[in-house]
Structure 1
Amino acid sequence: MPNPITIIKNNSAWSRLPISYRGAIIIAIPAICLLGTLGAWIWSRQIGLNTLNQINHTEAVISKSNQLLMSLLNAETGVRGYHINREDDFLIPYRYAKTNIPTILLELDNLLQNNLQQSAKWNEIKRLVNQEMNLLEQKIYELRLQPEGTYSPRDLSLLSQGKQVMDSLRSTIGQLQSEEQTLLTRQQEQLENFRRVITYIQWSSAWISAAAYWAAVYLFNRLDQDLRERELQLSESKTFIETITTNIVDAVITINYKNQIETFNPAATDMFGYQHCDVIGQDLTLLLIEPDLPIAEKKEKVNFWHTNLLQSERRWQTTGYRKDRTSFPLEISISELEPDAQLMIIIRDITATEEAKAKLQSRADELARLSSILAKANTDLEKQNQELDKFAYVASHDLKAPLRAIASLSEWIEEDLTDELSGETRYQMTLLRGRVHRLEELINGLLAYSRVGRVKNEIEIVDVKKLLNEVIDSLSPPDTIKITIASEMPILRTHKIPLRQVFANLISNAIKHRDSAEGKITIAVEELGEFYKFSVADDGPGIPSEFHEKIFAIFQTLYPRDTKENTGIGLSIVKKILDHQGGIIDIELNSDSGTTFYFTWPK
Structure 2
Amino acid sequence: MPNVGRYIENILPTDSNFFVDNDIQKNLEHIVELILNVFDATACSIIANSPHGQIELYQYGSKIAISTEALNSEVFNESIIEGNSKSTSNTPLNVNSKMRRVISLIILPSNLKLGWLIFERKSESAFTEKDKTILATIQKNIVNQLLQLNFIFKKEKDAELHSMISELNRDFVFIKDENFKIVYANDVFKNSYPKEMQNKIIGFTTIEHYEEDAATAFLAQDKIALDCGISKTVENLAMPNGMQITVETIKQRFEDKSGKHYILGVCRDIAEKENLISKLQKANSELDEFTSIASHDLKSPLNAIKRLLEWISDDCKDLLPEEHLENFQLVINRTNRMQVLLEDLLSYSRVDRCDSTRSDLSLENVYLEIAECLEIPETVTVHINANDKLLNIPVVPFKTVILNLISNAIKHNDKELGVIHVSLRPSHHYYLIEITDNGPGIDPKYFSLIFKLFQTLRSRDDVEGSGIGLCVAKKLIINYGGKIEVASDGKLGSTFTIFWPKI
Shorter-chain TM-score category? 0.3 to 0.5
TM-score, length-scaled by structure 1: 0.38
* Bigger fraction of residues in strand: 2
* Bigger fraction of residues in helix: 1
